[in-house]
Structure formats: C-alpha cells, structure tokens
Amino acid sequence: MRKFIRRGKTDSQHPAKPGLADRRNPAKHLTPSFMNQPSSVGVLGLGIIGSRVAENLRQAGHTVSVWSHTARNVPGALPSPQAVAGAAQVIQIFVRDSEALLQAMHDMQPALTHEHVILNHATVSKAATLEAAALCAASGAAFLDAPFTGSKMAAQNGKLVYYIGGSTEVLERVRPILEASSTKILPLGETGDAMVLKIVTNLVTAITVKALSEAAAITHSQGIPLANLLTALENNANYSGLIGMKLPTIISGNFDAHFSLRNMLKDADFARELAAQGGLAAPALECTAEAMRQGVSQGKGDLDFSVIGQIES
C-alpha cells in the first residue's frame, strides 16, 4: 500500500516574521527595487541643504515627502516626521542639531519597520549619532551615518560629497538616492566614524578662515588692497578652494549664508567635546570658536561663517 506524506505549506505561503538576528541585520530585508528605479524618499529639514536635496530628488524622478520644523508650503509637505516615515522607506535627515535629530527619531520610531533606511546627514555629536542608530535598531530599521561636505551651491548643483559610516550593504541599497545630490560617496568606517571625520574637517575649515581673516585684517591695516592678497595667495602653495571662495566674500562684504556662523560654531563645539574626551589641547580651535561665539552674540549667527573676517570701515 502506497503511503502519502502530507506536506505543509511552503515558506512562501507562510513568510516568517523577522527574529532577533534579522533585527540586528535590517539590511537583509531591504528590497532591491529602489536600486534600479525611482522610489519614495522622505526629507526631514528644509534649510539651505535639505531643500535643495529634495529638489534634486524630484528632478531624478523620485516621489518626495518632506517635513520641516518651520512649516513650508512646498510639494509633498507632511505634518510630522512620523507621517514622512509612513510615506517613504528611505528618509534623509538634514535637521539643525543633535536635539532636533533625536526628536525626529523619537517621533518616527512608531512608524519605522525593517524596510526603512534612515540616513542622518545633519552634523551632530558622535553620541547623538550612536543614539539615533540604536533607536533605528530597536525598530528593525537600517541606519547610515552620512554627513556631507559642500554648501549651498554644491547642494543645488548635485555636487555634495557624502561621508558614510555603517553597513556597505545598506549603502549599496540607497546609493542611487544619494547620487541624486552628490558627486562622491565615501565609505569611511563604522557608525560614528564618518561624523567624527566631518567634525574635524569642519575644524580645519573654520581655523583656515580665521587665519584668512587675520591675514586680511593685517593687509588692510597696511593700506594694501585685499585684491593683492588674493593674487598673492592664488600663487602660493597654501591656496585652496576654500580661500578662493571666502576671501572674495570678505573683500565684498557680502555674507549671505552658504554655511551659517551659528552652524559652524555648533560644529566647533562638537570638536571641542571630542578633544576634551581625548584629553587634548586644541588652542587654535579654542581661539576660532571664541571669535565665532562673539559673532553670534553680535547678531551675526545667520550670516555666512566667513563674517568673522568682516573688515570694519
């Protein structure tokens, strides 16, 4: 007599729920669809950079949902970060500081699933970066530490450079979305590493502009046209793209913000925290931070950070 074995339903008929191991590796759940075609993307924070990234995403064919702390009448605007997380699986965050990042993360958390990827582009503390990553992990969502270099025109022209800390697998899943606003995407280590590198590169930028400011002030005091200083620097080994952008700003006195003094001071204070954690003295950083702090106290915080080189007539 032939025996028949009754087979159970296949895994495809009863898909397993993600277990603990799955939550530890949320990248394995990400569908590859948004690697090859336009997808829904959320942008939190519509300041100088976020607003331009959102527009680049729209031009690339993505459906973009947005939220900003300051209400804005723009396409795709939603009332909260949680609403954005309900509309999009990939969320790019461009809020102002650590507190704003963590507030947005807590607001989104009930809506996050293993299908979400959260990319934090805001320059925040390393501690806040790790806390945001932990909040994502608790919900099964993937997280990338993804600060950028580049200011207003770089964002507008899709020429940001992203520093990436975190899973290379997650990065490859969202690479087409990052490419909509960038020319380079640089994997630089684990979660938190990219943020540290962003903070210390901004330290170099701030100190360079402080030195440039002092050079301009001395040149002006000696009755030498600042245009001559620019010519001299253009033919000197220390010339850089930063000098080429900021010295003309100091000469013209037009300090419309490309990167605000308030935000550069915030980043300098993060660098000061890191130096203190390492028991390190950072006198050039301290001097520069104090100059920026004075500028903010004088009501210049929303101007470009090169305003520390303003020549008083």
> How many CB atoms are closer than 10 A to CB 225?
11
Q: Which residues of the chain does CATH 1.10.1040.10 include?
A: 195-309
Query: Has residue 29 got a pLDDT over 90?
Result: no
Q: 195-309 maps to which CATH number?
A: 1.10.1040.10
Residue 24's pLDDT band (boundaries 50, 70, 90)? Answer: very low
Give 243-265 pLDDT, tens digit per residue: 999 999 999 999 999 999 999 99
Return the higher-pLDDT residue of 9 and 278: 278
pLDDT attached to residue 10 = 41
Q: Mean pLDDT across the stretch 48-58?
A: 96
Please give the distance of CA 292 from its chain centroid, rounded to a whole number.
21
Cβ–Cβ under 8 Å, residues 269 and 289: yes
Query: Has residue 223 got a pLDDT over 60?
Result: yes
Query: Has residue 106 got a pLDDT over 80?
Result: yes
Query: Has residue 213 got a pLDDT over 60?
Result: yes
pLDDT attached to residue 73 = 86
Provide CB contacts within 8 A for 260, sequence distance 6+: 48, 301, 302, 303, 304, 305
pLDDT attached to residue 312 = 77
Nearest to 281 by CA among 271, 292, 295: 271
Distance CA 210, CA 308 (A): 7
Query: Has residue 1 got a pLDDT over 70?
Result: no
According to the CATH classification, is domain 20-189 in 3.40.50.720?
yes
Query: Has residue 26 got a pLDDT over 80?
Result: no
The structure tokens listed for 42 are: 């959320």
Global model pTM greater than 0.75: yes
Query: Has residue 17 got a pLDDT over 80?
Result: no
Looking at the chain, the whole-number percentage of residues with pLDDT higher than 90 is 85
Average pLDDT over the chain, rounded to an integer: 90
pLDDT attached to residue 40 = 94
Q: What angle do CA 46, 145, 287 make, to 5 degrees?
A: 80
Give 228-244 pLDDT, tens digit per residue: 999 999 999 999 999 99
Give 65-80 pLDDT, tens digit per residue: 999 988 778 999 999 9
Q: Which residues of the chain does CATH 3.40.50.720 include?
A: 20-189
